[in-house]
Amino acid sequence: MKIGILGAMPQEVSLMARAMTVHRTTEAGLRTFFEGTWADQEIVLVLSRVGKVSAAVTAMLLLERFGVTHIVFTGVAGALDPQLRIGDIVIADRLLQHDMDARPLFPRYEIPLLGRTEFQAPLGGAAFRAAMLYAGSDFVKEVPEKHRANFGITQPVVYRGLVISGDQFIADPLKTIALREALPGALCTEMEGAAVAQVCHEMGDIPYAVIRVISDQADHAAAVDFQSFIDEIAEHVTGGIVHALLKSLSTGTV
């Protein structure tokens, strides 16, 4: 088992970069890939950069050049479901591209010539259990109290469901409402996960997980909340959940 781990922003992968044991560093496709070990697992860690194309290119490089067998994407997201609060955790059980619209040639959201709109996340169950473990114990130990207080976080709630992706940073309440109405089951919105999901599907149903932490409410305050959250809290949660997932994979307790 060789696990590729990627995130779109430097802060989302910084804790993992510090914690892992790096055996080799490789430059490919304008990216730096860190090959090594963490939590008794062979991993390849990389910053994908933002957006669906960047994420898809990175996932393909992980699969084709570095031979990973599993992929984990982790990072932050904007809430769509009104019950989600900043600091809550969302594990994708399926993903969809909300900006894919080739009507009238194809139904809305359907990937042209692929015949599907959603992609199931095979490692969603394992990631959910890892997130529950992290949220219930390590979160309060690892995230400084003053940072938790800045966002009114006591203990994050973990959700599992539909995650939607598009090449848009949603910071307009009207767009948020429109997405809720169009896709009532969606929990959160981000910019990469569904692209990684499509690559994993097309490359032979590679097992993958998408782990998201709510950084904002996808409203007018989203840009401010996002930047503060990603600087103060993101690396602890993204790294902590991935660490718990890697340990469960190494012990076979998935």
Give the C-alpha distances (Å, rounded to integers) separating 67 from 44, 45, 60, 62, 70: 10, 13, 10, 6, 9
The domain containing residue 107 runs over which residues? 2-248
Give the C-alpha distances (Å, rounded to integers) separating 170 from 61, 99, 226: 28, 12, 11
Cβ neighbours of residue 51 under 8 Å, at least 6 residues apart? 8, 167, 191, 192
Give the H or E element holding residue 148. Answer: helix 145-150
Residue with tokens 């997932």: 245
* pLDDT score recorded for residue 220: 61
* pLDDT tens digit sequence for 54-64: 999 999 999 99
Question: Does residue 254 form part of some domain?
Answer: no
Verify whether residue 216 is a known catalytic residue: yes
Phi, psi of 202, deg, nearest 5? -70, -20
Question: Does residue 53 form part of some domain?
Answer: yes
Question: Does residue 145 form part of some domain?
Answer: yes
Q: Choose, from 12, 88, 110, 190, the residue flagged as catalytic.
A: 12
Q: Across-strand partners of 94?
A: 120, 162
Estimate the crossing angle of helix 10-19 against helix 222-232, to 10 degrees: 10
Q: Across-strand partners of 24?
A: 35
* pLDDT tens digit sequence for 230-254: 888 888 999 999 999 999 997 776 5
Q: How many structural domains is the chain composed of?
A: 1
Residue with tokens 């600091």: 87
- Biggest CA pair distance of the chain: 52
* pLDDT score recorded for residue 227: 81
Query: Which CATH number is 190's domain given?
Result: 3.40.50.1580
* pLDDT score recorded for residue 224: 60
Residue with tokens 């994908």: 48
CB 46 within 8 Å of CB 31? yes
- Taking the C-alpha atoms of residue 185 and residue 95, their distance in angstroms, rounded to an integer, is 11
The residue among 25, 91, 3, 74 whose CA lies nearest residue 239 is 74
Q: Choose, from 35, 93, 192, 216, the residue flagged as catalytic.
A: 216
* pLDDT score recorded for residue 231: 84
> Number of helices and strands (H, E) in the chain?
9, 10
Give the residues of the chain that fall short of pLDDT 50: none
Question: Does residue 253 form part of some domain?
Answer: no
- Taking the C-alpha atoms of residue 41 and residue 114, their distance in angstroms, rounded to an integer, is 33
Question: Does residue 226 form part of some domain?
Answer: yes
At residue 225, the 3 state secondary structure works out as helix
Question: Does residue 210 form part of some domain?
Answer: yes
